[in-house]
Amino acid sequence: MKKIKGPGIFLAQFLRDEEPYNNLENIGKWSADLGFKGVQIPTWDDRVFDLKQASESKGYCDDILGKLKESGLEIAELSAHLQGQMLVVHPAYSVAFQGFHPKGQSDSERTQWAEDQIKMAINASAKMELTSVPVLSGGLAWHMVYPWPQRPEGLIEMAFEEMAKRWKPVLDLAQENGISISYELHPGSDLFDGATFEMFLDATDNHPAACLTYDPSHFVLQQLDYLQFIQLYGERIKSFHVKDAEFNSTGRVGVYGGYQSWINRAGRFRSLGDGQVDFKRVFSLLTEAGYDGWAVLEWECCIKSPEQGAREAAPFINEHIIETTEVAFDDFAGGETDVEMNKKVLGLQ
């Protein structure tokens, strides 16, 4: 039985223009000192990573790996979440998302930029012998998530056909390199739950590179069964964000949040152990499903500081990783196969 790797940490939420959070060497040492063994690197942040250089230079990749190894760290994955979101963007969101891509791009230029970026992340991952690129899917239909007014016939199908068309060149390149594109199912993208992921699989002819980044926190906020999700889609889960959340509905706010700040919503992200996610069961089910990738902290909390959240997260994840058994608990009572005895037990002689 395979074992989950970890603990890992997603660096995106911790990067700042001050030490020790301002470059890969400093934040790597900080992460290692807290007990983390792997880092998930945001490929859009040039304070820690030059994506273009990594996609073209094995020497640069080896240098990055070597610097991290000095601190006792590995690279878990190269994240391309923001570039994935930019691959498929409804024009209504162009202004809101303009900070995620180079200034002055037209819609078509932004789409091509995003495709090129994700392809570079695939090439860099291949050079580093990584197997999963976590992304967001983007989408065209999120503003139609609640069917009022009634959605025009064929609208959602068209949106998924277009999304599949834009993602297929990326998925094909990933497959050629033995890499999974691991979609984090996330509100704001058109892939946000199991049903929408299945629709995407249908639109891409069940593309083998179309996989999942599992994050139970988004499912708590949607009131989706995050445990059964693993049982349904475990073979497609190739990355894992360990993030906690809670849902406490009131007579005032529910799933949609009432446009309130995070601390006043019914659904809130919390630091590990402070929310409602049953991580013992999550780790058990992922292990049963054969998941052997990284367990990576993604810190988001409306109450606790990122420093405390990170300090507490490494031992929390480490305690939940299961040391898988290579023997059966009742092996002591067994023995070699005895065909004649088996026949007697079954009453066949």
Distances from the Cα of 34 to the Cαs of 7, 14, 105, in angstroms?
10, 13, 40
* pLDDT surpasses 60 at 178: yes
Supply the pLDDT for residue 327.
60
Supply the pLDDT for residue 344.
86
Domains of the chain: 5-345 (3.20.20.150)
Crossing angle for the helix pair 155-176 and 194-203, to the nearest 10 degrees: 70
Supply the pLDDT for residue 218.
98
Is residue 217 very low, low, confident or very high in pLDDT (cuts 50, 70, 90)?
Answer: very high
Supply the pLDDT for residue 331.
59
* pLDDT surpasses 70 at 205: yes
Please state the separation of Cα 71 from the chain's center in Å: 24
Residues in CB range of 200: below 8 A, 6 or more apart: 137, 160, 163, 164, 183, 190, 191, 210
Could you give the CA distance from residue 45 to residue 306 in angstroms, rounded to a whole number?
19
Supply the pLDDT for residue 281.
98
Could you give the CA distance from residue 37 to residue 24 in angstroms, rounded to a whole number?
14
Over range 164-179, report the average pLDDT. 98
* pLDDT surpasses 70 at 139: yes
Is residue 136 very low, low, confident or very high in pLDDT (cuts 50, 70, 90)?
Answer: very high
Is residue 288 very low, low, confident or very high in pLDDT (cuts 50, 70, 90)?
Answer: very high
Supply the pLDDT for residue 324.
86
Q: Select from 298, 307, 293 the least CA-distant residue to 272.
A: 298
Residues in CB range of 262: below 8 A, 6 or more apart: 268, 269, 302
Is residue 336 very low, low, confident or very high in pLDDT (cuts 50, 70, 90)?
Answer: confident
Number of H helices, E strands in the chain: 12, 10
| Virtual torsion, Cα 132, 221, 312, 31, nearest 10 deg | 30
- Amino acid 292 reads D
Is residue 343 very low, low, confident or very high in pLDDT (cuts 50, 70, 90)?
Answer: confident
Which tokens is 17 given? Answer: 């223009």
Sheet holding 180-184, edge to edge: 74-79, 38-42, 5-10, 294-297, 237-242, 210-214, 180-184, 132-135
Is residue 328 very low, low, confident or very high in pLDDT (cuts 50, 70, 90)?
Answer: low
Residue pair 26/348 in contact by the 8 Å Cβ criterion: no
Cis omega before residue 20 (within 30°)? yes
